Amino acid sequence: MLASKNILLVIGGGIAAFKSLDLIRRLRERGASVTPVLTRAGEEFVTPLSVSALAGTKVFRDLFDLTDEAEMGHIELSRSADLIIVAPATADLMAKMAQGHANDLASTLLLATDTPVLVAPAMNVRMWDHAATQRNISTLKADGIHFVGPNEGDMACGEYGPGRMSEPLEIVAAAEAMLADGPLKGKRVLVTSGPTHEPIDPVRYIANRSSGAQGTAIARALAALGAHVIFVTGPADVPAPGGVEVVQVETAQQMLEAVETALPADAAVFAAAVADWRVASASNSKMKKTKGGLPELKFAENPDILASVAQMKKGRPALVVGFAAETDDVIANATAKRERKGCDWIIANDVSAETGIMGGSENDVNLISNSGSEDWPRMSKAQVADKLANRIAQALA
Ligand code: C5P
C-alpha cells in the first residue's frame, strides 16, 4: 500500500523523535520514499545526519535556504507528497497548525498543502490534557487532519498517562489506512466495538468479557479497503487500530450518543457487546458495606443502539450489520434477532465457553441475511473481518 508513495515526514522537537528514525526505516521497507523535514527543536533530539542517512536523501530544515528554494521550494515540497506525517507532533507544532502560523519550514509547508496530513502527537500528559491542546486538536480534526495516538504509558519525564507517541508500526498502519485505495474509498463506515461499563458507583461497574478483538479487526479491515472508519469503542483489551477515527466511550448511553454524532454513514457494523441493563440507581459516592444488609441494585434497560439505527426512518445507513452472540440455537435465535432489530445482516456466533471464541483469536460465524444463513468455516478473527469487509464492499458497490 505504501509502495512508491512519497511521504513527507516532519520531525518535531520531542524526545519521541528517536522513534521517527525507526519510522523512516519502516516506511522505506514498505517501498515508500521519505523526504524528511526537521524542525529547529527536532535537531536538538536527532541529528540531520542520522535522519538523512536513514532516509537516503537530504533533510530539509530551513524556510529561507536559497539552495533548497532553487532545487525544490517549500510549496513544491508539500505538494509532491502523497501524505505528510508529523511525528512527533509537539503541542507547539499543533498549536501553530491549528492557528495557521507559517513562521518556519514545517508550519509553512503544512499551511501550503492540500495533501492529507497524519499527526502523531507526543508530549507530557499535562500538556496533552491542557484545554488549549485539546481545543487545538478539535480544530485540527474539524480541518480534516488525521491523528494516530498518543498512547498511554510511562513517559520520559517520569509521569504516566496519555502523551506517548504511537509506535512506528502503529504510525505505518495509520498511513497505510489513509493511503488505501480500495473498493471502500469514499465510503464512511461506523463500527462499534468492545464491552460497555455500566457504573454501580464511582469505583464499581458491570461489564462483560468482550475483548473488542473482532470489532477492532473489522475496523482495520474496512480501513484497509479504503473506508473512512469511525470506531466507537467501549473499554476494550486490544488497542484501537491505526488509521481510523476513534471515539472512546464507557457506557451504552454514551455509545448511542457517539453513534448518533457519527452518522450519517454508508454502512454500520455493531460489534460491541453492549450491556443490556444499567444500574438505574448508580450512586455518586462509594457504596459502603452495611451491617447485615446487602445493597439493592435497581436496573434500567439500556437503549438498543443497533435497533434504533436499523429502524431509522431518515438517514439510515444503506447497510446495517449486527452481531448475535448466542449459546443455544444459534441460527434460529440470530434469524429472529435480525427480524426483531430490523438490520440487514446478522453475524451469528456461538459463544459457549467450550468454543473459546469470547476473548479468543478465532471465530466461527454464520452470515444471516434475507437470503438465509451462510456458514463460514472457523477462521481467525482477522480473516472473518477481511471476509466481512469484502462483502460490505460488494454490497455498497
Ligand atoms: O440483543 P443482543 O445484545 O443479543 O444483540 C446483539 C447485537 O445488538 C450486537 O450487534 C450489538 O452490538 C447490538 N446491541 C446494541 N445495543 C444494545 C444491545 C445490543 O447495539 N443495547
Active site residue 157: yes
Which ligand 1 atom is the nearest neighbour of the CA of 323? 10
Q: What is the pLDDT of residue 296?
A: 86
Q: What is the pLDDT of residue 68?
A: 63
Q: What is the pLDDT of residue 70?
A: 60
Rounded to an integer, what is the distance from CA 25 to the centroid of its chain?
Answer: 23
- From CA 323, how far away is CA 384, in angstroms rounded? 13
Decide: 87 and 56 in contact? Cβ < 8 Å.
Answer: no
Tell how far the Cα of 315 is from the centroid of ligand 1, in angstroms: 20
Decide: 116 and 83 in contact? Cβ < 8 Å.
Answer: yes
Q: What is the pLDDT of residue 295?
A: 85
- From CA 287, how far away is CA 202, in angstroms rounded? 9
Q: What is the pLDDT of residue 75?
A: 75
Decide: 372 and 331 in contact? Cβ < 8 Å.
Answer: no
Q: What is the pLDDT of residue 232?
A: 97
H or E element that contains 160 = strand 160-164
Q: What is the pLDDT of residue 69?
A: 62
Which ligand 1 atom is the nearest neighbour of the CA of 302? 21
Q: Can you list the residues of the chain whose pLDDT is less than 50?
A: none
Decide: 319 and 309 in contact? Cβ < 8 Å.
Answer: no
How many helices and strands (H and E) does the chain possess? 14, 21
Q: What angle do CA 12, 18, 19 make, to 5 degrees?
A: 95
pLDDT, tens only, 220-247: 999 989 999 999 999 999 888 877 888 9
Tell how far the Cα of 275 is from the centroid of ligand 1, in angstroms: 8
H or E element that contains 375 = strand 372-375
**Pairing status of strand 6-11 against strand 83-89:** parallel
Cell reading at 380: 481467525
- From CA 239, how far away is CA 291, in angstroms rounded? 42
Q: Which domains does the chain have, with CATH numbers?
A: 6-179 (3.40.50.1950), 188-396 (3.40.50.10300)
Which ligand 1 atom is the nearest neighbour of the CA of 325? 4
| Residue in 53, 75, 156, 157 annotated catalytic | 157
Among 276, 294, 373, 295, residue whose Cα is nearest residue 333: 373
362 pairs with which residues across the strands?
380
Q: What is the pLDDT of residue 5?
A: 94
- From CA 227, how far away is CA 239, in angstroms rounded? 19
